[in-house]
Amino acid sequence: MDSFLRVEHLKKYFKSHGGILHAVDDVSFSIEEGKTIGVVGESGCGKSTLGRVMIHLLDSTDGKIIYKGEDVTKPDRKRLSELRSEMQMIFQDPYSSLNPKYTVFQALEEPLLIQQNLKVREREEKVYEIMEMVGLAERLVNTFPHELDGGRRQRIGIGRALSINPRFIVCDEPVSALDVSIQAQILNLLQEIQEKMNLTYMFITHDLAVVKYISDKILVMYLGQVVEFADSEELFANPLNPYTKALLSAVPVPDIEQRKERVILKGEVTSPIDPKPGCRFASRCAYATEACFSQTPELREVSEGHWVRCVNV
């Protein structure tokens, strides 16, 4: 049985003055329908680029994107238009992702004008239906983004993504710009909508507490590569890649009597521009051996559903 969405050896390279930037480099994984896959890693590891390539905001350099058994890596214009309504994105900054000249009504109506052939009355009903779904009061229908707080702006962003009935949504750090109390509201809203509409999420974040809360599986990225991939509970209970261990050691523990050993990373970050053979984390890894600098590790399954990229595991 085919996965709902699968990527195989996906790559996205950019030309730069110094050479070729390997933003996403040989990434493979799959997502089941109705589930959430979390993608974590430091800034610049390729998380957002991966999400943009998967929904065709960026063209891939190589590899395949398989959606419901169909190869949609290089869709023609007609198929791409269809995919736009099935794959959507919720952006990190709820203010810059909205047109400041559009009211709430206009912002929510715009996708309907582009993607769905609805009459004026039908569009109006749909807009109010979306507002109710994402928790926006009707009295806000004629307000502008600058008149709203971050939480309400993000609800508009979520509503825009939901307005054309997508099946897959890339959530690109949708709560990182919000206060903690508002973060919880938005996360709960996303989960409620997922259960109601059977949506599939890719949740991109640098917050490990958030990704543990919302994800079924977690993908850890470092300099464009997947270094570990496992079920959420398995990853937190049994991290195997040294980079994953370092990330998890930084998660605060809500118990002043429980002491946690913090892994401090030292050394220089390897350049993602024309990277040399070897492990890209080796220069910062306390367990690195000579083999780590000469052998490029493959992502391999060390136990059922637990994939790791490391020479020493």
List all residues 6 or more positions away from 156 whose beta carbon is below 8 Å from its beta carbon.
Answer: 94, 98, 104, 107, 108, 134, 136, 145, 148
A 10 A CB-CB count for 313 gives 13
| Of the candidates 66, 211, 111, the residue with the CA atom closest to the CA atom of residue 202 | 211
From CA 169, how far away is CA 202, in angstroms rounded?
6
* Structural domain that includes position 178: 5-309
Cβ atoms 65, 51 nearer than 8 A: no
Taking only the tens of pLDDT, the chain with its 313 residues reads 468 999 999 999 999 888 999 999 999 999 999 999 999 998 889 999 999 999 999 999 999 999 999 999 999 999 998 998 899 999 888 788 899 999 999 999 999 988 778 899 999 999 999 999 999 999 999 999 999 988 899 999 999 999 889 999 999 988 887 888 888 888 999 999 999 999 999 999 988 888 888 999 999 999 999 999 999 999 999 999 999 999 988 776 666 666 667 777 888 888 889 998 999 999 999 888 999 998 889 999 999 999 999 988 8
- 195: phi then psi, degrees, rounded to nearest 5: -65, -40
DSSP structural state of residue 103 = -
Query: How many domains does the chain divide into?
Result: 1
Q: For residue 1, what pLDDT is reported? A: 46
Q: Which CATH number does the domain housing residue 73 bear?
A: 3.40.50.300
Token couple for 116: 């769905």
The 3 state secondary structure assigned to 178-199 is CCHHHHHHHHHHHHHHHHHHCC
pTM above 0.85, yes or no: yes
